[in-house]
A and B are shown apart, each in its own frame.
Chain A
């Protein structure tokens, strides 16, 4: 799901970097001391999980946990995703360095959409958590395919979205399982997330 350097025009990549830095600042504003370790541990877990891949046909796709990030951290998920993408680019060359901004925006949108679903809809929390995980992958896949179409690149939206649907389903179930686990063992994490998602 990472966009490499050279696919998008340089001006677009730089503009996206500027917007992403702004969002990272907005997400990291007025950070409380006790939030930092939670965000750091989640960022480390996200880094490892993003390296779990599934071969689908002629390609391979990966998990992201962006939906879970949005569910737990809200706007604070943007700095977490940004740091992850930066290190993935530097250490593994997954996605370009100049494209970190656009990658942050696409995956961050998935996280924010998950956060929106979590806050707005009132139905069974298990189904909501599944939907958060599902959208956390599907929305970035749709956005990336739109970006590719606009750049006259890629194999079309239908192809890209279709290969990410299995990952979105797996991610949905994984988010639901993790949510159930937190709900049973440490429900205060979820209630803390709900009250502190919004940086004032």
Chain B
């Protein structure tokens, strides 16, 4: 009975297994930089504190909060290395470096091109809806768990052998 309860609990909570740690994605859409912060497993990091600094150690450029979907946007005004820190004020913090180049600040305007009708159809078909927690990320997360467990067991084995040898 106890085993059944434990298995049910584990199955129920298994999808949440990958739901922790902060993930920050950066999207550069000249002239704006859009940050999306979430917990691993797709839950948006809403109302987290975001600090933007131009080059480490310099004065804060911008400070704000992510919106309810975990999004934050800022407008860099110079070329260089920008640092964005996302903090949920519960001890979880992630720092991301963003390189802004001249091409981003001064994009070359695209010429107006009339797309042929079949190209427009092709563009519509190419729109894909990514699952919130991409399969590749889940596999990577699983591999990391396996790696951690294997490392712990290897250390245990080495320690056990060393202790046994010392006793004999």
Contacts and interface: CB of A to CB of B under 8 A. Distances in A.
Contact of A48 (B149, B159, B167): B149
A51 B145 contact: yes
Give chain B's interface residue range (CB within 8 Å of chain A). Answer: 35 or more
Contact of B149 (A1, A6, A44): A44
Interface string A1-33: 111111100000000000000000000000101
A51 B13 CA distance: 11
Interface residues of A, number: 48
A168 to B, nearest CB: 15
Interface in A37-65: 37, 39-41, 43-44, 47-48, 51-55, 58-60, 62
Contacts of B87: 4
Contact of B2 (A5, A41, A144, A181): A181
B163 A31 contact: yes
A53 B17 contact: yes
Contact of B90 (A31, A47, A154): A154
B167 A33 contact: yes
B25 to A, nearest CB: 15
Contacts of A43: 152, 156
B41 A88 contact: no
B18 A51 contact: yes
B16 A1 contact: no
Interface of B: 2-3, 5-6, 9, 13, 16-21, 39, 41, 43, 45-47, 85, 87-95, 144-145, 147-149, 151-153, 155-157, 159-160, 163-164, 167
